[in-house]
A and B are shown apart, each in its own frame.
Chain A
């Protein structure tokens, strides 16, 4: 065994060094792109005309679609907050996905709902048809739909069928939106209506923030380190990473907690796929694929202005579940749309974004998790000396830490949403300790997610390959 380990180690140290260098440098490039974009937005903010959008009768109408499953505790303030967003033409469709609790009852009482018989167009085929439609007595731009449980994606599709506005916006019942959220996310549609087909809003952690009447009134760092590290991670990976991807027209993920789409285009691609775990990411990849197949000139834009606040997992157990699901979702998307991978027909999506996610998101857990025992073995056999191993780790993690701090610096320069000096210090410390256990655990969870996906999907894949693997789902599996 010893000689093999020696061989591998001798061969691998350069490889691992390059891998770390490449992954972090790609992140550095995204951060630089994001910084350039933030600078541009700061420069142009004073004449962006956002107030104008609020009074312009041509500003497109938006249907906010909020699926809800067992949300009794939060649904009423969530709907009220949604109805009071600053936006001129708004309709809110709440899709009750067969809740087992009293979600409907509390809504009925709060808004005085009355049933209206309604024929619903099946623009997108759905698994469950709506059972009943309600509107508030006395009017108001609210529609509540009751249906049997069929998962989040199917509920959103039902909402799209009911929507009457040109733009549809997907939100979660437990997310808190800034009152400017819709204006911010509609902006790209207003400025470039012919090309923009979808926009995604940034998600930030609500843990530690003061919330009054469904609005974030004061931003702060959460208490626990698990959540704090995620604040830094969200800044780096979501705020800056996605801004960077968007800048080069290769945004692959729009968070399910806040995304806006042109309804017409949603119908063209057949809505969300309920058989996917990461249905939001899958939708975006499908849009890219469809629009590029049809040689359309389009844009999918990420909006970095604060938009949506969501509770991030505060315990390892919940976090682990989330990360396993993310990894599974990513694998699924890459597999399903593998035709785009390294395919020049799909431009930057095929040659840049897809390979990046494959090499650096999907493969990173393997390198990180398998690297560790290798190093331990090396130390045990005396091939690796401790001094070298420690230095190597410091160099690799130091780069990652520098990137986290760069993200903090950019946040501070552009949005400075954390008013307290103590919050800044906490964020700095979180960026540091992230390297000692959080990254390793994330990698492990990622790996678990991938293996789970492989086990579960083998049968499905066989079937799909035979059926020619069209863009349409062939087999159902509850998403929730």
Chain B
């Protein structure tokens, strides 16, 4: 079973994305902030994490960086979800080690396709 972690401080988005992924057959964990996400990762290492960039406290980019820094979680696929679409922001995301980037407003359907594509590529 493939596990996905959804981290967003916006409960509606978090639950929506989690619901959509669960429907698509993934095991889904949820967290509302950076600290919660790290705890969730310690409980069960996800194959892929969807991180909101602009969260209070630890941002998605910081979180991505700390996942990458830990050998245990360095290979977790990271998809950033953010309302910031400027070149500079996208660059910062990839520099932190993100694998993909989805801009809000987003289409849940497209998000799931991207998750599937990322996982499929990683399996190859």
Chain B residue contacts of A86, Cβ below 8 A: 54-56
Residues of chain B contacted by A57 (CB below 8 angstroms): 86
- Within 83-115 of B, Cβ neighbours of A (below 8 Å) are at 83-86, 89
What are the interface flags for A352-390 relative to B under an 8 Å C-beta threshold, 1 for contact and 0 otherwise? 000000000000000000000000000000000000000
A214 and chain B: residue at smallest CB distance: B57
Asked if A84 and B62 sit within 8 Å, CB to CB, the answer is: yes
A84 with B59, Cβ < 8 A, contacts A54-B54, A213-B35 known: yes
B84 neighbours in A (Cβ, 8 Å): 54-55, 88
Q: Which of B55, B57, B84, B89 has the most CB of A within 10 A?
A: B57
Bound state CA distance, A131 and B85, in angstroms?
39
Q: Is the CB of A179 within 8 A of B86?
A: no
Q: Contact: B57 with A179, CB < 8 Å?
A: yes
Q: A residues within 8 A CB of B74?
A: none
Interface membership of A51, Cβ < 8 A:
yes
How far does the Cβ of B56 sit from chain A's closest Cβ, in whole Å? 3
Contact B83 A51, beta carbon cutoff 8 Å: yes
A-B contact list, 12 entries, CB within 8 Å: A54-B54, A55-B84, A55-B85, A84-B58, A84-B62, A86-B55, A88-B84, A88-B89, A179-B57, A180-B56, A213-B57, A215-B56
- The answer on a CB contact under 8 Å between A179 and B83 is no
Q: Is the interface of A mostly helix, strand, loop or mixed?
A: loop
Task: Give B19 Cβ to nearest chain A Cβ, in Å.
Answer: 23
Using a Cβ–Cβ cut-off of 8 Å, how many residues does chain B contribute to the interface with A? Answer: 13
A303 to B124 CA separation, bound complex (whole angstroms): 54
Interface residue tally for chain A (C-beta within 8 Å): 11
Instruction: Give A155-185 interface residues, CB cut-off 8 Å to B.
Output: 179-180
Find out whether the CB atom of B83 lies under 8 angstroms from the CB atom of A54: yes
Complex: A180 Cα to B83 Cα, angstroms: 16
Sample of 7 further A-B pairs with CB below 8 A, known A179-B56, A179-B57, A213-B57: A54-B54, A54-B83, A84-B57, A84-B58, A84-B62, A88-B89, A215-B57
A55 & B58 in contact (Cβ 8 Å cutoff): no
Docked complex Cα distance between A54 and B84 (Å): 8
Q: A-facing mask of B37-68, CB < 8 A → 1, else 0?
A: 00000000000000000111111001000000
Max chain B Cβ within 10 angstroms of own Cβ: one of A51, A57, A180: A57
Closest to B59 in A: A84
Question: Which chain A residues lie closer than 8 Å to B35 at the CB level?
Answer: 213
A215 to B9, CA, bound (A): 15
Q: How far does the alpha carbon of A213 sit from the alpha carbon of B33 in the complex, in Å?
A: 12
Least distance between B60 CB and chain A CB atoms (Å): 11
Chain B nearest Cβ from A158, distance in angstroms: 27
Tell me the minimal C-beta distance from A101 to chain B in angstroms.
Answer: 27
Q: What CA separation (Å) do A470 and B4 show in the bound complex?
A: 66
Query: What residues of B have a CB within 8 angstroms of the CB of A215 in the complex?
Result: 56-57
Q: How far is the CA of A88 from the CA of B92 in the complex (A)?
A: 12
Give Cα A86–Cα B58 distance, bound, in whole angstroms. 10
A55 touches B56 (CB 8 A): no
CA distance A334 to B89 in the complex (A): 47
Which residues of chain B from 18 to 42 have any CB-CB distance to chain A below 8 Å in the complex? 35
Determine the distance from Cα of A215 to Cα of B57 in the docked complex, in whole angstroms. 7
| B69 → A minimal CB distance (Å) | 11
What is the CB-to-nearest-CB distance from B35 to chain A, in angstroms, rounded to a whole number? 7
